[in-house]
Amino acid sequence: MFSKWRDGVGGSLRFFVSGGAPLSRRLSYAFLAAGIPILQGYGMTEACVTCANRPEDNKVGSIGPPLTGSR
């Protein structure tokens, strides 16, 4: 059912990375069902990413744990 989605993004995509605004759970679960997880992260524009989900520990609806060294 989702093979057209995967093929449309090259067929070898492992995950998407999203930031800037919260992503709806519905959209996250739709892509997850297609085998394309969306990893969310957070960081201020004038700084850098401070929190991010990792492929091996992705949680829908979460921005992930703080990166090492973040304050």
Q: Considering the chain, what is the average pLDDT of its residues?
A: 86
Q: Could you say which residues of the chain have pLDDT below 70?
A: 1
Q: 13-28: b or e for each residue (b if 16 or more CB lie within 10 Å)?
A: bebeebeeeebeeeeb
pLDDT digits (tens, 9 = 90+) for 8-19: 777 778 888 898
- The structure tokens listed for 26 are 């519905």
Q: In terms of DSSP bridges, do strands 16-18 and 38-43 run parallel, antiparallel, or are they unpaired?
A: parallel
Amino acid residing at 49: V
Strand order in the sheet with 49-52: 16-18, 38-43, 49-52
